[in-house]
Structure 1
């Protein structure tokens, strides 16, 4: 006996519902945050604060007769000052921890490292018209502070008579004498050190007006005293530069005739 048509329809509906439930997408449950929950903030990467750039100070330059004065700060350049033939005393000082500067002409001739790492001192610049020539010069300076440089030709009218004594500490490296008058003939250079030097020192003598030099025997290491001789080629005004030998601690040099 066949089932009634209505019963057959009900059976088919129930079967299809069961099957569709097996293949439907799973129900997604979204968690909720309770009222007492704390939300952690998102970390923001730290940004480094840039260091301020040091202010550039344009060097100022003053030229009076045979004296050129230049002052500035940080890195700087001054040019267009003229240096004649002869010897010049270069004196410098700086407020920073370092100061380096050069003095060169348009061809790059001159002195590449005048200060030799020292923030203060003095030394000679000799324009002999042979290896270093007269002309317009440029000063290039690098520093982390303010600085000043004076380039001065010694006054021959104030030259003193011999003997002349120059004292210099090893830490200073170099010392310059005052200008002195010398006659043609033998020149005696005696020296003494507070400690026994193990390096070699030098005394260089230059004609103030021409920049010409004459040979002096080096100060030898291994002793605390010594003597060197030289020959003055012509009567004139001279100036000496002393390079202190390593280990001397303090050197005293006397020039006489």
Structure 2
């Protein structure tokens, strides 16, 4: 393999499908980010393993996924380290215990150290860690307005909503179709709120994955031979508190968690 002198050299080895599975809008943007060390090659699921290993060696990236994750989190933690956590805690809807910022995610306490390290009594999901750190460093702390919008209706959401449907809404719809009682359990353990509307078969559940970033699950069960319908909505202020790509990542992380819960729910 010839040396990678620029992101264009790396781009030649990518699938060039612009599928957005990596979290970037296009393969060219992914190549540029990978060359700068801001994206890991493992984020491209369609890159052949052998090619990925060779490219990783060229870029000095680790082959081990956990080591790659550690490297990917480094710039996010560095950005958090530049934030006065005690001063910003109230703005974000968090608290500060004198040493660390305390952030609630799905009803559970997570602590953020001054160096950007995350800790919790429960497992820190990698899909949730990135949005949490970006919320702390980039969030404006805007209070929710109670105006729900689909992802495509948010600023920048048009570029993400199709992939969001494939990776978040469709999988979650399948989970709820097969485990209707699971939502009651989720409401209980995640501190979610059921929003009932008299005379409607629609199931509406509000989750709080971040203090000022609520998520509304709207689900209509199958009826009269028609399949179920599901969509996920965010408050109109969502992109003031989190970049659109992190909102997508947050959705994937939440659905991945619920899929795993559904598997254990059956045993």
* TM-score bracket for this pair, using the shorter chain length: under 0.3
Query: Considering only CA atoms, is the larger Rg found in Structure 1 or Structure 2?
Result: 1
Higher helix share: 2
The two structures have a TM-score, normalised by structure 1, of 0.27
Larger strand fraction of residues? 1
